[in-house]
Each structure stands twice: as C-alpha cells, then as structure tokens.
Amino acid sequence: MPTYTNDPTLPTPSFPGSHMVIDDHYVFISGLTVADLSNGHAARGDVKEETRLVMRAISRMLEMEGGSFADVVRVDIHLTDLHTLQELDGVYAEHFDPGRYPARTCTESANICGGCSVEITVMAKRQHQSAQ
C-alpha cells in the first residue's frame, strides 16, 4: 500500500497532493519549483539557481527514503523557455554520474506555478523494500 508523505522541511503543499508517494518499489516526487521551497523566492527567474535549489530539495527527499540520485530512473522537467535548457543541464548533470542519466522528458510550459522557470518531477527506485 502506498504511503503519502510530505517533506517536513518544506511548506505544506498548496495543492491537493503530497510531496512524495512511496510504495514497495519506487519513490515518486511531485513536481517541485522554487515556489514550493521556503528559501526559493529570491531565485525566481535564474534558471541555474532554481535548478540548483530544486535538485537540492529532491536530493534531501531521496535521502529521507535511503536513496540518492543514483536511484533515479525517470525525470520530467518543465521550463518556461527551452532556450535555457543548456543552463539547466549544466546544473542538472552535476547530480548524476556521467553516462548514468535517468530517462527524461523536457517540455516548454508557458506558465509554471508560482511564476517559476523550472519544475522537476522524479521517480526513483527504492533501496529498501518492505518485507512481504
């Protein structure tokens, strides 16, 4: 049975959803933007800094479940401007071992919640499966 949980270091979601849904095999992390972070407001509009802060929050959430970016199997990214993709990629790639990048979708979305430039969603394999 899935567990629905929120990261206690983040503000409660302003949407009807959870930060994370965890089952026996995967950790699903809802799309995160800097607007979802208590310290992210000053970063809005700076794709590199938005990406850095969101990836840091995702890393912390993965660690809460005993995982890391090495366990990530899929990432969905939304950018308000695909012309900033190289800026995002420069920060994004720092979190993965070269040649071990997860499957990824990246789209341009004209409006991202909170007036942000980047939103990132993650699916990761769980390290610790519950006893059955």
Contact indicator for 96, 102 with CB cutoff of 8 Å: yes
Range in 55-64, 77-86, 120-129 the model is least confident about: 120-129
Share above pLDDT 90 across residues of the chain, in percent, rounded to a whole number: 76
Residue 130 lies in a domain: no
Write the CB contacts of 38 (distance below 8 Å, at least 6 apart in sequence): 10, 11
Residue 11 lies in a domain: yes
pLDDT at residue 132, as a whole number = 45
Residue 103 lies in a domain: yes
Contact indicator for 107, 85 with CB cutoff of 8 Å: no
Cβ-in-10-Å burial (0-12, 13-18, 19+) of 88 comes to: buried
Instruction: Provide the residue range defining the domain that includes 91.
Output: 3-125
Residue 110 lies in a domain: yes
Return the CATH number at 84: 3.30.1330.40
Residue 92 lies in a domain: yes
Residue 132 lies in a domain: no
| Phi, psi (degrees; rounded to nearest 5) at 106 | -135, 125
Residue 131 lies in a domain: no
Tens-place pLDDT, residues 33-63: 998 887 667 677 889 999 999 999 999 999 9
Domain count, the chain: 1
